[in-house]
């Protein structure tokens, strides 16, 4: 981008922040387009929109020229410390399964790589190109942890999530390898949280480097271990399932702007992994029904959105007795794996000590502290009652 206001992205709060990664340039996009056979013959391109998401650089691009053009595509660039072509291929295979089941998810365009590759690496960066979906990106400027515009939107989003989980059944790829900014069921499904984090960090040098600066065992023992033990005392494990894991209104495309709008597209599968339906549903509630960006003592919750989202979900996919019992127990700790992956990202990939501390204190520990408060316990009781 040249001229005009500087490109800003979603920060760790409500204030936009400078990006970790510079926006995609026209020369860069021309190189990417040249590696996509379906876009051969293009004579130009126009950047329609630069995404404000923080962990990569992405843009909607209108490609012109050629027999099958113009077309609008979504181009995304990752640092290879976050996603390499092999990691992206795991996401793309899941998308292919969902499309075959009729889910409204993006089609990934192939590159000139061997064996039908769907990602291209150039230097330290990895690129992917998706065909743009139809629908209104109604929430595209909304950060995570901000609510739906209405309970009606939460309800249809819940329905869409239930349908996605039904479509995911039968997809049996193994869980993804650990990486920065990646959701996982691994730590919270362990029998001993402290031991699991110790073993995990031993395999992730960037995370281990940060944790050496913290009394992390004491912190987890104080804020997370008791809740983890309550969940594990359930003694039953929800069935494994590949899931989205970042279900927020900004990752949905809508049929219109009214309260009657339907979900017509699902995007941003960057956190998808083999977890459980309970994990994904808990993430969906945590992402958009609790005002995490508000002060601790004045944090708002949207209980009507909770009941609407759960009602919509169950109208599409009933929850099993084990899943209903597990959901309120998993909610206070559902963020643990992802929060630690954010700590690793900020500490070892982009070198932001301030954001690493925010991910550790303000996310990993403070979310757990809130769930232990009177307000948090009331929220969990409401979820449990809404499932009856």
Residue 66, by phi and psi: left (phi above 0), alpha (psi -120 to 50) or beta? Answer: left
Residue 66, domain member (yes or no): yes
- Give the chain's domain count: 2
**Rounded Cα gap, residues 25 and 75, in angstroms:** 11
Categorize the per-residue pLDDT at 158 as very low, low, confident or very high, splitting at 50, 70 and 90: very high
DSSP string, 68-112: T--EEEEEEEEETTT--HHHHHHHHHHHHHHHHTT---PPBPP-S
DSSP 8-state class, residue 53 = -
Clarify whether residues 344 and 372 are in a common domain. yes
Average pLDDT over the chain, rounded to whole? 95
**pLDDT higher than threshold 80 for residue 272:** yes
Answer whether 191's CB lies under 8 Å from 353's CB: no
Mean pLDDT for 55-59 is 95
Two structure tokens written together for 326? 């597990």
Q: What is the pLDDT of residues 185-239, one digit of tens each?
A: 999 999 999 999 999 999 999 999 999 999 999 999 999 999 999 999 999 999 9
Same domain assignment for residues 107 and 173 = no
- Which of 131, 137, 134, 135 has the alpha carbon at shortest distance from 71? 131
Please determine, for residue 2, whether its predicted confidence score (pLDDT) is greater than 60.
no
Residue 329 shares a structural domain with residue 255: yes
Report how far apart, in Å, the C-alpha atoms of 218 and of each of 131, 211, 221 are: 47, 12, 5
pLDDT band at 66 (very low <50, low <70, confident <90, very high): low
Residue 314 shares a structural domain with residue 348: yes
pLDDT in tens, 292-323: 999 998 999 999 999 999 999 999 999 999 99
Is residue 110 domain-shared with residue 254, that is, in the same domain?
A: no
Residues 119 and 180 in one domain: no
Query: How many whole angstroms separate alpha carbon 68 and alpha carbon 62?
Result: 12
pTM of the model as a whole: 0.95
Q: Are residues 278 and 242 in the same domain?
A: yes
Considering the domain architecture, whether residues 290 and 375 belong to the same structural domain is answered as: yes
User: Domain holding 127: CATH number?
Assistant: 3.30.200.20
Spatial distance between the Cα atoms of 206 and 258, rounded to a whole number of angstroms: 45
Res. 174: pLDDT tops 70: yes
Please indicate, yes or no, if residue 5 is contained in any of the structural domains: no
For the chain, where are the alpha helices, taking DSSP H only?
A: 26-34, 85-100, 151-168, 193-203, 205-211, 216-223, 225-232, 277-288, 303-316, 321-330, 336-344, 353-357, 366-372, 374-386
Choosing from 69, 103, 131, the residue where a domain stops is 131
Please report the pLDDT score of residue 1 as a whole number.
Answer: 42
Please list, residue by residue across 281-311, b when 16 or more beta carbons sit within 10 angstroms of its beta carbon and e when fewer do.
bbbbbbbbbbebeeeeeebebbeebbbbbbe
DSSP, collapsed to helix, strand or coil, labels residue 249 as: helix
Note every long-range contact of 196-205, with CB atoms under 8 Å and residues 24 or more positions apart, other chains counting.
197/340, 200/340, 201/340, 203/178, 204/178, 204/344, 205/348
For residue 232, the enclosing domain spans 151-386
Sign of the C-alpha dihedral, residues 225, 227, 232, 238? negative
As a whole number of angstroms, the distance between CA 358 and CA 346 comes to 10
| Whether residues 218 and 349 fall in one domain | yes
Task: Determine contact, residues 274/242, Cβ cutoff 8 Å.
Answer: yes
pLDDT score, position 5 = 63
Residue that is written with structure tokens 């992402």 in the block: 287
Q: Out of 131, 162, 181, pick the residue that ends a domain.
A: 131
Rounded to an integer, the average pLDDT of 101-129 is 94
Distances (CA, A) of 260 to 150, 255, 256, 289: 10, 9, 8, 20
């Amino acid at each position: 981008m040249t001229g005009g206001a500087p490109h800003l992205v979603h920060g760790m709060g409500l204030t936009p922040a400078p990006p970790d990664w510079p926006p995609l340039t026209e020369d860069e996009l021309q190189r990417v387009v040249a590696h996509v056979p379906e876009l051969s013959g293009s004579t130009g391109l126009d950047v329609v929109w630069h995404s404000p998401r923080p962990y990569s650089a992405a843009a909607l691009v209108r490609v012109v020229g050629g027999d099958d053009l113009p077309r609008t595509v979504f181009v995304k660039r990752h640092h290879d410390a976050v996603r390499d072509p092999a990691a992206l291929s795991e996401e793309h295979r899941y998308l292919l399964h969902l499309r075959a089941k009729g889910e409204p998810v993006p089609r990934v365009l192939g590159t000139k790589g061997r064996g039908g590759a769907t990602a291209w690496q150039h230097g330290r960066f990895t690129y992917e190109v998706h065909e743009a979906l139809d629908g209104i990106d109604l929430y595209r400027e909304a950060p995570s942890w901000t609510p739906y515009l209405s309970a009606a939107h939460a309800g249809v989003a819940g329905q869409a999530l239930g349908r996605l989980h039904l479509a995911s059944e039968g997809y049996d790829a193994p869980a993804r390898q650990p990486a920065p900014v990646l959701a996982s069921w691994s730590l919270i499904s362990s029998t001993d949280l402290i031991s699991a984090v110790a073993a995990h960090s031993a395999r992730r040098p960037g995370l281990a480097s940060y944790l050496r600066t913290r009394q992390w065992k004491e912190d987890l023992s104080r804020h997370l271990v008791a809740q983890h033990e309550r969940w594990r005392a359930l003694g039953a494990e929800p069935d494994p399932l590949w899931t989205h894991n970042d279900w927020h209104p900004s990752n949905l495309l809508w049929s219109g702007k009214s309260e009657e709008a339907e979900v017509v597209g699902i995007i941003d599968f960057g956190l998808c992994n083999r977890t459980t339906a309970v994990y994904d549903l808990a993430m969906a509630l945590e992402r958009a029904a609790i005002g995490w960006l508000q002060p601790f003592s004045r944090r708002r919750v949207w209980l009507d959105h909770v009941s609407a989202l759960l009602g919509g979900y169950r109208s599409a996919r009933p929850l099993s007795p084990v899943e209903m019992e597990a959901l309120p127990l998993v909610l206070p700790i559902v963020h643990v794996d992802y929060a630690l992956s954010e700590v690793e990202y900020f500490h070892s990939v982009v070198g932001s000590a301030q954001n690493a501390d925010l991910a550790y204190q303000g996310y990993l520990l403070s979310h757990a502290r809130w769930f232990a408060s009177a307000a948090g316990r009331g929220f969990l009781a409401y979820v449990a009652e809404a499932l009856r």
